Amino acid sequence: MENILPIIIADAPEALIELCGVNLLERLLRILQRLGFRHAVVFSTTPEIVGGELAKRSWPREQVIVHLVSGTVGSLTAQLLLEQRPSERFLIVPANIYCDARLLAALCAKNSSAALIDSNPPEFARSLVRNPCGPVLVTRDFLLAFSPAAPLFEELKNKIDYRKIDVVDTAEEDDYIVSMRRRVRPLCFPVSAEQDCRLAERVILDSAQKGTLDLPAYIHGPIETRIISLLCKTRITPNQITIAGFIIGSSATAAFAVGRIGLGILAALTFGIVDGLDGKQSRVKIETTERGKWEHHLDYLIENSWWAAIAFYLWRSGQFPNVFYFFALLVGSHLLDEFAKRRAKTVKGRLLDDVTPFDRAFRLIAARRNVYVWMLACGFLLGAFPQSYAFICGWAAFSAAIHLVRSLWICNAHGPHVIDSRT
C-alpha cells in the first residue's frame, strides 16, 4: 500500500481483548501485513502495557515495523498526525474493533478521504454496529484543513456528520469470495463486553468455513469448526496441523499397500477432517502465508498415493488383475477435470463448482477424495472392495465428463464477451 501510513489507536485493556486466541491489536497488525503494509504507528495512552504486547515476538506480523507513540486522552490531533512518518494518506483505525480485512482494503483503494459505514447491518449484528464504524482514510490535504490543536476525532465526526467526507458502505461491498466459494458478509464493529466477544468469535469461525461442499464435508464441517474453536486458543500452528495430517495420510497409504484396508479407510476418514483444520486455523488466526498455498499440492500427492497403493494391493493379491487400467482412468479423469475447471474459472472468475445451482448440486456427489473414501468404506463393509474401487474410477470419469461439458457450455456462452473485452 503505497503512500498510506496506518495509524492505530490502541489503549489497554480494550485493544488487547482476545478473539479466537488473538488480541484485537495483534489481529489488526496481522491484517495490515497481509494487505502489504510494512510500517505502522500505534498511539496509546497506556504505552507500557501496549508496548509490552508489541515487544512479543510474532511471526504473522514480523514484517510490520511498529512505532509506538504515547499520549494522553484526547491528545491526538491533525498536527500530531502530520508530524509522523511522511505520507500522503493515513489509515486511522481504532484497535478496539473487529474489522474484516476486505473493508480496510476497500478504504485504502479510495483516492480521496473516506469513512467506513454500514447502512444495513445484518440482523444478528445490528446491536453492535456503530456508524461510522471507526476506520477512516484521510489525505494530507484533508488534514491540513483541520484545526491544529483540536482533537482529531471531533474534527472527523463533524466532517462525517456534515457529509464532507466520502464513505465506504459495508452493505454495498462485494461479499463473494472466490477461494471460499461462498458469500461472507464483511463486518466492522467495536468489541467490549463478553457477549460481543462471543458474537465476534462466531463470525470469525463461520467466515473460515468454505462453501459449496460435498456431502461428506457437510458432516466434517461442524466437527472441524468445533475443533478449531478449541485449537485456535492454543499455540498449535497451521504447519504443525499440516505435518500431523501428512503423517495420518501417509499411514493410510501404508495400510492400503499392505492390505489393511479397514485401518487405511479409518486413517483416510480422519485425514478428511484434519486436512480442513490447517486452513481454518490459518484463516481464523490470520496466519496465512504464501507457502500455505502449496499445502493443496501435498494433499493431492497424498490422496493419489492412496489410489496407487490400493491398486498395488488389489493387483498383488489377485483380486483385480486389470486394476492399473482403472487407476490410469482415475488419474486421467482428474487431469481432465482440472483442465475443465481452470478453463471455466478463466471465463467466469469463480470456480466451476459454484457457477450455477446445477453445479452446486452436482458438487455434493461429484468425484472427490472424501466421496471416494465413503464409497470405498461402503464397498469394504459390504465385502465388495475391488468393485468399489472400479466404481470410483468410473465415477471420476463421469464427473470429469460432466465438468468438461459444463466448461465448454460456459466458455461458448461467454465467447463474444471474452472477445469484446480484448478489443
Give me the average pLDDT of each 10-residue run along the chain (423 residues).
88 94 97 95 94 94 93 75 84 94 95 93 90 90 84 83 88 92 93 89 94 91 95 94 95 97 97 94 90 78 96 97 97 96 91 93 95 97 97 97 95 60 35
**CA–CA separation, 292 and 81 (whole Å):** 37
- Torsions phi, psi of 126, nearest 5? -60, -35
Whether residues 407 and 268 fall in one domain: yes
Per DSSP, the residues of 246-270 read HHHHHHHHHHHHTT-HHHHHHHHHH
Whether residue 90 is contained in a domain is answered as yes
* Distance of alpha carbon 324 from the chain centroid: 38
pLDDT digits 0-9 by tens, 92-133: 999 999 999 999 999 999 989 999 999 999 998 888 898 888
Whether residues 324 and 407 fall in one domain: yes
**CA–CA separation, 268 and 280 (whole Å):** 19
Whether residues 41 and 181 fall in one domain: yes
Kindly state the cell numbers that stand for 159. Answer: 466532517
- 341 contacts 347 by C-beta, under 8 angstroms: no
Instruction: Select from 138, 162, 190 the last residue of a domain.
Output: 190
Whether residues 153 and 258 fall in one domain: no
Whether residues 213 and 333 fall in one domain: yes
Whether residues 261 and 373 fall in one domain: yes
Whether residue 104 is contained in a domain is answered as yes
Helix axes 101-108, 24-34, angle to 10 degrees: 50
Q: Which domain holds residue 394?
A: 208-422
Helices assigned H by DSSP within 146-260: 152-161, 194-207, 215-231, 238-257
Whether residue 197 is contained in a domain is answered as no
pTM of the model: 0.89
pLDDT digits 0-9 by tens, 23-61: 999 999 999 999 999 999 999 999 999 999 999 999 999
pLDDT digits 0-9 by tens, 197-230: 999 999 999 999 999 899 999 999 999 999 999 9
Number of structural domains the chain divides into: 2
Whether residues 158 and 270 fall in one domain: no
Which amino acid is located at 220 in the chain? H
